[in-house]
A = this chain, B = another copy of it.
Amino acid sequence: MAAAAAVPAGALGPRDFDGWFTEVEAMWKGQRFSIEVEKVLLHKKSKYQEILVFDSKTWGRVLVLDGVIQLTTKDECSYQEMMAHVPLFCHQSPDRVLIVGGGDGGVLREVVKHGKVSDVTLCEIDTEVIAAAKEFFGDTVATAFDDEAVTIVVEDAAEFLKTRRNMFDVIIVDSSDPTDADAPATALYKPAFLKSCSDALRDGGILCMQGECLWLDSHRDLVKETLAAMRPLFGIRDYGAISIPTYPCGQIGMILAGKYDEEDIPSLKDRELFFRKPRRHLDLSLASGPLRYYSDYVHEAAFVLPPIMRNSLGSETCANFIASSDLPEGLPTPEEFRMLFVGMLGGGLILGMAIGRLVLPRLF
């Protein structure tokens, strides 16, 4: 069997990968993930990044940007569905949505399933990513570019957002990793960009950012920095986890932020549970088919973080302090329910009979 080989970052055009594609480990030193290649379909350098598309032996078709796997058709459902449906179902009435990045069209495919959304803008810096998605993923991931609700803007989102005010109900930042200072995504983790997002959201608006992986020290640091930078801008902040095998460590997160003043939602518990509880429920008639990863339950469970992760975020997420008193065990069982009601009714009856027999005859 051929040994795995790293892809030279500057290589251009179709080439032989010795049968395997191995991810560069810029942000996850000391570990590598490899996928067996069936056929390389595209390998080029755009103005912004290296674009690679190949058919794999066991993960379907794969899109790679700057040596980092963006999606495989076998497991993309978890990331796309959660990035779209978690913020959209947390919003009472999402009308206008902005997707930053997302040139592969996967998050877009999910957003247009929401009948409440009348207007979706996708702002992608690299037109060649959109072209590759249309050519190679037209029947799987890039299925919604021509939807009548969709506007495509090919522009740097950091520039695009500078002049937008109170325009969007939900902004979804579906970026690649900020692997180095030159990577297209690097500006999207800076405080200036977060401020632009806040300004561009309506009150009560929701920002959902690709949130990296809490198992990795360097990722966790980035998540904490981002959450800290969000604090003066967004009254509610949280982190939810998604299972996705072909991303580093098999886990990625969503960083969620709500444009509320803390006074708008004064109860700590309501803030803790804000993103955890969908405000609306999935109407399958809206969807083109059943969802593969998202459900009400999965939405809620995504915010249940193991102590090792929860503690690492310190006080930067609202959901850090959910105590065991919130457990469903604290609620009465159906049996206890029935006994309580019978008790209240019986108590009322006995007290009422006593009043009726002893007190009322003396009054009337």
Contact = CB atoms under 8 A, between A and B. Distances in A.
Contacts of A361: 357, 361
Interface string A343-364: 0111111111111111011000
A243 interface: yes
A181 interface: no
B3 A5 contact: yes
Contact of A348 (B58, B331, B348): B348
Interface in A307-364: 307-308, 322, 324, 327-329, 331, 340-341, 344-358, 360-361
Contacts of A355: 349, 352-353, 356
A316 to B, nearest CB: 19
Contact of A34 (B32, B281, B298, B331): B32
A30 interface: yes
A348 B20 CA distance: 75
Contacts of A306: 78, 243, 292-295, 298
Nearest to A4: B4
A203 to B, nearest CB: 23
Identical copies in the complex: 2
A218 to B, nearest CB: 10
A263 to B, nearest CB: 19
A346 B244 CA distance: 54
B36 A34 contact: no
Contacts of A241: 243
A340 B283 CA distance: 30
A42 interface: no
A47 interface: no
Nearest to A327: B296
A277 B292 CA distance: 25
A77 interface: yes
A356 B360 contact: yes
A304 interface: yes
A340 B340 CA distance: 11
19 contacts: A3-B4, A3-B6, A29-B58, A30-B57, A241-B243, A250-B250, A250-B251, A295-B306, A297-B322, A301-B304, A331-B331, A344-B348, A347-B348, A352-B355, A353-B353, A353-B360, A356-B358, A356-B360, A361-B361
Give the 3 A-B residue pairs with the shortest CB-CB distance, closest first: A250-B250, A352-B352, A348-B348
